[in-house]
Structure 1
Amino acid sequence: MKKIITYGTFDLFHVGHYNILKRAKEHGDYLVVGVTGENYDIGRGKLNVHDSLATRIENVVNTGFADEIIVEEYLGQKIGDIIKYDIDAFVIGDDWRGKFDHLSRYCDMIYLERTKGISSTQIREEKFDQYDIGIICDFADDNQIVNEAKLVNGFEVKNVYCDNEEELNLFQKKYSLPNVFDDYNELIESSDIVYIRCSIEKRFNFIKRALKLGKHVIYDPPATFKTSELEELMNLAKEKNLILMENIKMVHIYVFNQLLWMTQGGLIGDILSFNCSISKNDASRSNLFYDLSSIAILPMLKIMGSDWEKADFQVKKDGENIEFASMNFVYPNGRAVINVGNEIRVDNQLEIIGTKGTIRMKGAWWRSKSFELHTPGSKEVQIYNTNFEGNGFKYLIRAMSRMLSRNRTDSKSIFEDESFNIVKILEQVKKAEN
């Protein structure tokens, strides 16, 4: 019996998929079909997949060609599958010619011509809405959104506004966007989604204006130092049925959700200590300290909660800028410490100590691909990881894409009470600053 294997995502199943499965089956007696898993697709940057894994498998089953269906879950799995299923030939579209030649040591390689005039990418472009993104900035830095947005089908950064002509020209020279505006209202009119990346003092008014004009908003937090103003923005977004999303990308990364599962689910026992440090040296950004603080406070709220009994803040300033601050929180059964350095360097790390284990993330933990789990009595360190490239913005945009397709405005990745508590804490830090 000659056994054949082929792989694919099989998203938005079309005649091209049908044809390649039909022709693959014709090359042998038994066809194994590998369908890519969601985590594998995300890890290799394929964020445009529309159909669920269950739907994609069902579509393959319905062709009647597959004798066995497996899920492709990780890079390098193909070699193991060829050996495990005793495969005689690997069938793949000819657009992959040369990419899998190394597998010829394990089985025959057969490249099939693709069905012309049809592809999942083409169907996505024709079937789904397109969203133009506009950026409001103070300086010539896009936070990688220009390139990251291109990786999510239907999203493109096309517009930029800056009230500083020199920075606006630098931005355009650097990123070459189709439209440059020196009028904020014109940018809003030309955009479906607005990314607010400017000084904190300007954010509230920019966000409010965009929401009033019916635009979805992504913003660097905090939006304001006043909880009353944040509430006003949230109510306005609800009234207009719009998405108001904080740019805290880690909540959309799989490894962070693994960490939350372990801490919130009690897998490391009762949490005794939360300790994190975050720093970046960038004197050109006056509000960088508060941007960094927002990122650090959120995981504390998710893991430790908001029922602290006492909080104190130590702030060191250099002129108008905060160089360093330490935030200390006493909980009923534990403690949390957050150190934020702006110009003063601190070692970036996150450590969570529980009664049954300790989790550690080293380096830039807010965009980390992995974390360590240390358990008492064990010399082995367990590593939990995922694969991604870039700074994670594409995952935030992907989350927004899903919300838009389902007509939802709440991602549930960051809850309202968490957003309010971030602002409340920063209000107290600002008082300590003065």
Structure 2
Amino acid sequence: MKKVITYGTFDLFHQGHFNILKRAKELGDYLIVGVTSESFDIERGKLNVKDSLLKRIENVDKTGFADEIIIEEYQGQKVNDIIKHKADVFVVGSDWTGKFDYLKQYCEVVYLERTKDISSTAIREKNISRIGIVAGRGDDGGFILESQYVSGLHVEAVYSEDVNVADDFCQKYELNKACYSYKEFLDSIDIVYIRFSGEKKYEYALGALKQKKYVIVDNYAYNSPEQIEEMQQCAKENGVVICENIITAYLRAFHQMLWMVHSNCVGRIASLGIKMSSIDFSSRTRFEDMLIYALFVSLKIYGDKLINASINTSYICDADRKHYGIILNGDGVFADIDIGIGVEMDSGLRINGFDGIVVVENDWWNMGFFQINCRDKYPKRYSFNFDGNGTRYMLQELMIMIESKTDESTRVFYKESKLLAELVGRVKESIKA
């Protein structure tokens, strides 16, 4: 007898789940299905799970494909289950291609192609929001994989003005369809992720908002404050939200740190030190991408005081390597920002108070922990879950806003977005001068 084993959360059970169980069953004589427990979902970073464990088990059982249902409760359980149940084949969706190759020493590993052409009506009936991606290039930055860790989302389509980019993207990520008309694209989705760095980003965002679509935008602050205000007003008028994709803004560690700093855990803030290297941040990043993150943290620490702060900059270039120095100085404000493109430097965040110091080492923008050093006290480290590239936390916040019908994110307030755009513009003008 040939035994097949597969695993999943199976939340908001839909046709895609049904299909993978059906195809898994066809690969053998006996199918074992592992359903993740609530505690394990939390441990592995799965967010926003709607159905109870009992409900998810019941939905799997109703298909009639599972000969045996087990509970997956911890990391590493798959190996033990394969050995214990003498499974011959391990089956998982092609979204995870390569991730489970280590199991090949125990059994055959089969990656099943992602289910395409799932009925949009069926998706809507399950209260699953359909996401479409406006692609300027051929990669998704990990967005699609991250979206699978947030229940209630399904990436449906891609749009690009370049037909080849749209086709290649659709095939690479096994999406339902590639769209060559922006109107057709908007008609097929509920949420638009604009992964596009061109000047038409504003046009794409505004067009989606007018069609009552929720919008996620990378590097929102590239736009002028006037454009940002227009987009925000359009979102409010149409009962949707435009969400700025600054990952740090949605991390638990970052918000805990802000709360403690503003509660005077290190006393009055004396200065802020920020260091960032593109070597740590992203090999394909631009100066402006990193600047937005640095100024966002400064804004969250100092608030409206930054409006009247003076800005002084320096710029050093060595072939393709560049170093930017930025000083924000004003009444109650002093921030020293170093940004290196291709420059070896120790990234980090340091908040200096009169009674102590907050330290975040290395890639602080992916903050999973921070440390507080106070006079006459032992250093204390605060740690929080951080999984993937952080996009799932932004998507979780967006789902909360959709479900609660909130018209503005509390992670990045609209007024902060406008001020951030003003600061980015002032820094760039200072560098040009």
Greater shift after overlay, 325-334 or 409-418?
325-334
**TM-score of the pair, normalised by structure 2:** 0.70
Is 1:276 matched with 2:274? yes
- Alpha-carbon deviation of 1:271? 0.7
The answer for the alignment partner of 2:117 in structure 1 is none
Is 1:369 matched with 2:368? yes
Aligned partner of residue 328 in structure 1, secondary structure:
strand
* Counterpart mapping for 1:220-299 below 5 A: 220-280=218-278, 288-299=286-297
Matched residues, number: 339
The answer for the alignment partner of 1:394 in structure 2 is 392
The answer for the alignment partner of 1:415 in structure 2 is 413
Q: State the identity %.
A: 29
Partner Cα separation in structure 2 for residue 101 and residue 208 of structure 1: 46
The answer for the alignment partner of 1:311 in structure 2 is 310
Partner Cα separation in structure 2 for residue 417 and residue 158 of structure 1: 32
Provide structure 1 residue ranges, at least 5 long, that are not aligned to the other structure.
Answer: 1-8, 13-34, 57-92, 103-124
Q: Do the aligned partners of 1:325 and 1:340 also contact (CA within 8 Å) in 2? A: yes
Larger radius of gyration: 1
The answer for the alignment partner of 1:105 in structure 2 is none
Is 1:48 matched with 2:61? no
Q: Do the aligned partners of 2:221 and 2:420 also contact (CA within 8 Å) in 1? A: no
- RMSD of aligned C-alpha atoms? 3.5
Aligned CA distance change for structure 1 residues 225 and 100 (closer, same or farther; 3 Å) = closer
Structure 2 residue aligned with 1:95, among 70, 77, 99? Answer: 70
Q: Do the aligned partners of 2:317 and 2:323 also contact (CA within 8 Å) in 1? A: no
Provide structure 2 residue ranges, at least 5 long, that are not aligned to the other structure.
Answer: 1-8, 13-36, 53-67, 78-122
Aligned CA distance change for structure 1 residues 228 and 47 (closer, same or farther; 3 Å) = same
Partner Cα separation in structure 2 for residue 98 and residue 405 of structure 1: 29
Q: Which amino acid aligns with 1:95?
A: I
**TM-score of the pair, normalised by structure 1:** 0.69
Greater shift after overlay, 127-136 or 361-370?
127-136
Q: Which amino acid aligns with 1:136?
A: V
- Alpha-carbon deviation of 1:383? 1.0
Q: Do the aligned partners of 2:194 and 2:217 also contact (CA within 8 Å) in 1? A: yes
The answer for the alignment partner of 1:337 in structure 2 is 336
Partner Cα separation in structure 2 for residue 431 and residue 172 of structure 1: 39
- Alpha-carbon deviation of 1:413? 0.9
* Counterpart mapping for 1:122-141 below 5 A: 128-141=126-139
Partner Cα separation in structure 2 for residue 390 and residue 399 of structure 1: 16
The answer for the alignment partner of 1:327 in structure 2 is 326
Partner Cα separation in structure 2 for residue 43 and residue 101 of structure 1: 12
Q: Which amino acid aligns with 1:349?
A: G
Aligned partner of residue 95 in structure 1, secondary structure:
strand
Structure 1 residue aligned with 2:192, among 179, 194, 202? Answer: 194
Partner Cα separation in structure 1 for residue 351 and residue 368 of structure 2: 17
Q: Do the aligned partners of 2:135 and 2:194 also contact (CA within 8 Å) in 1? A: yes
The answer for the alignment partner of 2:109 in structure 1 is none
Q: Do the aligned partners of 1:207 and 1:233 also contact (CA within 8 Å) in 2? A: yes
Partner Cα separation in structure 2 for residue 366 and residue 97 of structure 1: 32
Partner Cα separation in structure 1 for residue 72 and residue 324 of structure 2: 55
- Alpha-carbon deviation of 1:345? 4.1
